[in-house]
Chains A and B, each alone.
Chain A
Amino acid sequence: MHELSVCQALIEQVERVARENDASRVVSIVISVGPLSGVEPQLLEHAYPLAAAGTIAEHATLTVETVPVRVRCRKCAAETVAEPNRIVCGACGDWQVDVTEGEEMLLRRVEIETEAAGVH
């Protein structure tokens, strides 16, 4: 239940991106979360407004893209989707697989607004 900590770290990253790009506000944020990252997308969405309050991202919408667990089999080389608690090859059933997707907790995109030139 560490999603608020994760959201606070997210806001810090977003604030940095906003600062580096001279944003006047953040419009939207897209993150990508895999089932093996250890965070729950729904809890992230709940915690987000608390972390964003009073920051440049206060009014930004948060989109959490979820990705499945994907594995590549070391035996039969098949690439299949797996369950987080059953990380086995979907083709041959072998457990000697490499996880290729599903562990990530990434900030992907930040949509920002910058002051239009000559507005002031």
Chain B
Amino acid sequence: MCRDCGCSLGPAATRAPLAAPAGVAGKIETIEVITAILGENDRVAAHNRGHFDGHGVLALNLMSSPGAGKTALLEATIRALDGRLRVAVVEGDLATENDAQRIRACGVPAVQITTGNACHLDATMVHDALHDLPLAGLDVLFIENVGNLVCPASFDLGQHRNLTLLSVPEGDDKPAKYPVMFRAADLCLITKTDLLAYITEFTTARARDSLRQIGFGGETLELTSRGGEGFDAWLAWLDREVEAQRSRKRQGETARPKIQPEGAHAHAAGGRPHR
């Protein structure tokens, strides 16, 4: 299914040892490196973050499984904001312009990235999309990642915050099943809460407990994109983050998501991508 994982190849084919070339043996040396494998992606992500910060734009990365309601949340958010914040959207999908068209229909600019078979956005894809999206005059850039609860968590895009959506029909144990993704979130949005009345197997208390068990240290909000109290709390969170980004711009500071698996550890280990 996925070009990226190479899973269509049988283990026998991929595990067969490759013959080393014959020839004169040279000197063997071991080089200690300790560098982030995705160091190049991290470099481009930092470049993107620099663009966002230069324009005072808050960049939010939305992640979830397909169908958790990312685009619906954005549509409802744009309508509720009614121009109060200037918003643009980068949409990531394997194929189609459908989501970008839905966003444009709400009256805000959207750029669609179609990844082909790739299961995640990376920093370079977002960088290329930024060329089609004037950042000047924006308050918030939403980056809607490819619907996937695994791969997007590993790639920094230059965003300031990670948002992970957990929709009620998915089940309240989703965080336990996909710990890396939910742990990466600064804000977890439990969406489609209007379905709680029908899907009684889901309790928000168990979902919150599941998040606690994986070491999730962020905020959790419960909402439906059809409006209501939870939606107002989401808009208030957005206002707070936009204000925080404006304040950071004044101070010349930046922000990163709380959890950045690889980069965080590379720094803790004292390693630096040396280039």
A residues with a Cβ closer than 8 A to B are 1-6, 9-10, 12-13, 16-17, 21, 23-25, 27, 31, 34, 36-39, 43, 45-50, 58-59, 61, 71, 84-88, 95, 97, 99, 101, 103-116, 119
Shortest distance from the beta carbon of A3 to any chain B beta carbon, whole Å: 5
Nearest B residue to A99 via CB reads B215
Q: Mark B249-275, 1 if CB is under 8 A from A, else 0.
A: 000000000010110111001010101
**B181 cross-chain contacts in A, Cβ below 8 A:** 38
The answer, among B27, B122, B264, for a CB contact under 8 Å with A113, is B27
Q: Taking each of A49, A58, A103, A112, which has the highest tally of chain B beta carbons within 10 Å of its own beta carbon?
A: A103
Counted as pairs of residues, one from A and one from B, with CB atoms less than 8 Å apart, the total is 193
**A6 cross-chain contacts in B, Cβ below 8 A:** 37-38, 154
Q: Mark B4-29, 1 if CB is under 8 A from A, else 0.
A: 11110101001101111100111111
Shortest distance from the beta carbon of A47 to any chain B beta carbon, whole Å: 4
A36-B183, A103-B265, A111-B28 in contact; A87/B154 too (CB < 8 A)?
A: no
When chains A and B are docked, how far (Å) is the Cα of A87 from the Cα of B213? 6
A111 and B154 contact, CB distance less than 8 A = no
A84 and B31 contact, CB distance less than 8 A = no
Instruction: Indicate if B189 sits at the interface (CB-CB under 8 A).
Output: no
Instruction: Indicate if B46 sits at the interface (CB-CB under 8 A).
Output: no
A2 and B4 contact, CB distance less than 8 A = yes
Interface size band for B: 35 or more
A95 and B212 contact, CB distance less than 8 A = yes
B residues with a Cβ closer than 8 A to A are 1-7, 9, 11, 14-15, 17-21, 24-41, 118-120, 122, 150-151, 153-155, 175-177, 179-181, 183, 212-215, 259, 261-262, 264-266, 269, 271, 273, 275
**B262 cross-chain contacts in A, Cβ below 8 A:** 37, 103-106
B120 and A2 contact, CB distance less than 8 A = yes
